[in-house]
Amino acid sequence: MEFTDWEPVYERILSDFGYPREGDERARDAMAEYARPFDAGRVDCAGETVAVVGAAPSLRDEVDAVADADRVFAASTAADVVREAGYRVDLMVTDLDKNPETARERTQAGRPVAAHAHGDNVPAVRRWMPRFDAGHVLATTQAAPVENVVNFGGFTDGDRAAFLADAFGAAELRFVGWDFDDPSVDAAKARKLRWAERLLHLLERRRGERFAVLDGRRESIRPL
């Protein structure tokens, strides 16, 4: 998704949560200090099935569903669960808030991480990015992109992983470890999950695809 298409959606997210755009821009600029060119060919998934893995509590019971995907894009702590189950993670997508040590270890081992900057994680960006091997980091923002910091759409780690897979050419997206009604999350996270649901609804319409994770829910989703 181009930023010109994403920006109206982004403005609605800012309005709904009361986030200042300037905060995201400051975080983006902090990320840009550490970002380096990233070879997107490393995560090219043209014509492939990509498992987009969320970090819902159900993931441990569902993780084997990634086995026959061509690629695995995993959000945050889902990367640990997939790895512990013996499967490869092709791209970890994180805003550095839960398991940044995993992200650091991945980059040091030469494996790609999409590291995200947003308004309230500047301290995490400044703490962790110097510890990463920048050559293996795809730096992302939810504000306007700048050199070496990209924006292909998405808000939470999970739906951003889906938008990245779309941007890199995935033929099919398969969702594993997702629960939009996760009772274990707080009110703020539950609200973000509502937005993740709406964003996936937008993405499936743009792709002309129907995501199984939205089956039984589409009729109640407010379209973007």
Place 54 in a pLDDT band, splitting at 50, 70 and 90. very high
Place 182 in a pLDDT band, splitting at 50, 70 and 90. very high
By the 10 Å C-beta count (0-12 exposed, 13-18 middle, 19+ buried), 48 is classed as middle
Cα–Cα separations (whole angstroms), residue 202 to 12, 87, 175, 199: 14, 29, 15, 5
Please tell me the predicted confidence (pLDDT) of residue 150: 98
